[in-house]
Amino acid sequence: MGRVRYHFKDQNQREQAAMLDAVRLFMSIPPSKDGGDGGRDVSRHFELAPPHALRCGIDVARFPRIAEDGVVTNTGPHLVSTLRDRLGDRVVVFVGLMGAGKTAIGRKVAQALQLPFVDSDHEIETVSRMTVPELFERYGEPEFRALEQRVIERLLREGPRVVSTGGGAFMNAQTREAIAEHGISIWLKADLDLLMERVAKKQNRPLLQNADPRAIMAKLMADRYPVYALADVTVETRDAKRELIMDEAIQALGDHLERFATRDETRTA
């Protein structure tokens, strides 16, 4: 490959070649007749995504993008434009348990799709001028959930954006109906160990103020996961770079929108 040098953690040669082709396309490096790099000295290290995410690099029609940390993602201008058109006025709503990464991934997705981002818990704290733990302590969970419902319904009416919700929001049937009417829900599904590792870093989780928070979290998973499964899209989250989870969320969103677009086209044909 001349002076073009790449390092991959995965040693599968076909996967390397496919990824290198995508990188070459993105960087517009014209290959020379002798197989070199066209005279450009390009040296960069990339961390390869899991094998199933390699489509992000080889689907050249969607213009793969190289993130600052070297992760090849699939959020180029063509894909963004297509998703925005198909999304219309709907809101992308992230649901899931505390610690799943709804805010972190939601913010990344919003940036990639060039949409506003709102964390519903932060919005609740802004309008109430109280923190979520303070609201729980002073008014109890039922009153907090009623306020949460009103705030989320308002956010859904304010046009296309990405919203991350609190862990209990999607459990409210009226909130689910509002999300179904005005948005597309994405469940970030995580296992117990990952959730506990993440929530242990914060002490502002009212529902985990208990002698055995792991047991509480397990109970929440048992109660809530069947309801979260009603979401339009499910994305398995894990201990990986946020850009990779973001990309998988965008791919899943795109697949969902494409299925509905194809169905609508078939109906009108």
Query: DSSP secondary structure string, 177-204?
Result: HHHHHHEEEEEEE--HHHHHHHHTT-S-
Regarding whether 94 and 56 lie in a shared domain, the answer is no
Regarding whether 117 and 30 lie in a shared domain, the answer is no
Regarding whether 173 and 50 lie in a shared domain, the answer is no
Regarding whether 156 and 261 lie in a shared domain, the answer is yes
- Can you give the pLDDT at residue 7? 43
In a domain, residue 7? The reply is: no
Question: Rounded to whole angstroms, how far apart are CA atoms 249 and 180?
Answer: 18
Regarding whether 81 and 66 lie in a shared domain, the answer is no
- Can you give the pLDDT at residue 157? 94
CATH label of the domain that carries residue 245? 3.40.50.300
Q: How many domains does the chain have?
A: 2
Regarding whether 160 and 83 lie in a shared domain, the answer is yes
Regarding whether 210 and 112 lie in a shared domain, the answer is yes
- Which of 25, 53, 73 is the last residue before a domain boundary? 73
pLDDT tens digit string along 100-150? 999 999 999 999 999 999 999 999 999 999 998 899 889 988 899 999 999
Q: How much of the chain, in percent, has pLDDT values that exceed 90?
A: 48
Question: Rounded to whole angstroms, how far apart are CA atoms 201 and 220?
Answer: 19
In a domain, residue 2? The reply is: no
Domain around 240: 77-268
- Which of 47, 73, 99 is the last residue before a domain boundary? 73
Q: How much of the chain, in percent, has pLDDT values that exceed 70?
A: 65
Regarding whether 132 and 165 lie in a shared domain, the answer is yes
Regarding whether 124 and 25 lie in a shared domain, the answer is no
Chain centroid to CA 114 = 14
In a domain, residue 1? The reply is: no
| CB contact at 8 A, 192 and 217 | yes
Which segments in the chain show pLDDT lower than 70? 1-78, 203-209, 263-269
Which residues 6+ apart lie within 8 Å of 69 measured at CB?
47, 241, 243
Regarding whether 127 and 95 lie in a shared domain, the answer is yes
Question: Rounded to whole angstroms, how far apart are CA atoms 11 and 120?
Answer: 43
In a domain, residue 5? The reply is: no
Question: Rounded to whole angstroms, how far apart are CA atoms 32 and 36?
Answer: 5
In a domain, residue 8? The reply is: no
- Which of 73, 96, 111 is the last residue before a domain boundary? 73
In a domain, residue 3? The reply is: no
Regarding whether 64 and 132 lie in a shared domain, the answer is no
In a domain, residue 115? The reply is: yes
Regarding whether 220 and 107 lie in a shared domain, the answer is yes
98 to 49, 163, 263: CA distances (angstroms):
25, 15, 34
Q: How many CB atoms lie within 10 A of CB 68?
A: 6
In a domain, residue 4? The reply is: no
